[in-house]
Amino acid sequence: MVVPQFFANLRPAVKHGLLAGTVILLVKLVFVISGNWSLRFAPYYPLLSFLPIYAAMFIAGKTERTMFESSFKYWSALKSALLTIFIVVFIGSFSEYIIYNLNPNIKEFSMNLMRNQMIESFKYMGSFYSVKEKDEMIRNINPATLIHAISQMFGYFFSNAMIALILALFTRYKAPKNDWLNQDS
């Protein structure tokens, strides 16, 4: 088969990014098909959606470490994790963009939910924004725009990048502590 051969030749960060992105895409499609799109805005959804990303980063990092061995230092591990994140976030953000543009009911439902969440968050902000600014922000919510998809993608990328900084410490190559004993003089 052509697809498995193509898939086998991909860099592990790309391969696992595509797999995790597909998992997130499928979860979103299940939400759409089952009529449970509101779960997309549940407080636990971000944590559960990040789990496939973290697993993909970790597995890709470990796989690349075995491939590249001693040349797989911290920066290589970090680049691998960031590439995985970028692919997953790209698939996830643009799948939502497509869903919003294909289904106006989901778009309207999401806009109302986002407006209610924004109104609720304004209660805790005090007088940070004027009433006019708040009204304009609420009125301008539209998840079906390309700008929203791109800004969402940047937000998800940078929030996951913070974890990648830590995860790269665990996936990088570390020389054995007593490696100097095994070296020939």
Q: Give tens-digit pLDDT for 15-65.
A: 999 999 999 999 999 999 999 998 888 888 888 888 999 999 999 999 988
For 140, the 3-state DSSP assignment is coil
Distance, in Å, from the CA atom of 179 to the CA atom of 185, rounded to the nearest integer, reads 13
Q: Are 167 and 54 in contact (CB under 8 A)?
A: yes
Question: Is 69's pLDDT higher than 90?
Answer: no
Domain extents in the chain:
22-34+45-173
Q: How far is CA 89 from CA 2, 51, 96, 166, 176, in A?
A: 26, 13, 11, 19, 35
Structure pTM? 0.84
Contact (Cβ atoms closer than 8 angstroms) between residue 160 and residue 89: yes
pLDDT at 82 > cutoff 70? yes
